[in-house]
Structure 1
């Protein structure tokens, strides 16, 4: 292939690389997770109160 025939192909490759670098099509806001699902909430949503965190009352009386 002659040098003049390669020039348009090279220019096209440079143009493609430049446009890909400047205008990346990846948009993370379209792929983000919206938050924990129902299984996670089922496992983690129980909030222990102060009373629940204490040992049983018969244990406290014995010590």
Structure 2
């Protein structure tokens, strides 16, 4: 199984996570703060991510 690097995941998906947080009802400022929290969790859990499913679903689960 190939291990994903954090930096490309953040670069390619931070806008997606921010939009998810906004759709969940957060204000822009709160979405910014929550996105930092989400990506701290992503950084910690990325080594355990199983790439059989799209990463967007995994990111959304963490974000909500």
With normalisation by structure 2, the TM-score equals 0.29
If you compute each CA radius of gyration, which structure gives the higher value, 1 or 2? 1
Name which structure has the greater RCO, CA cutoff 8 Å, separation 6+. Answer: 2
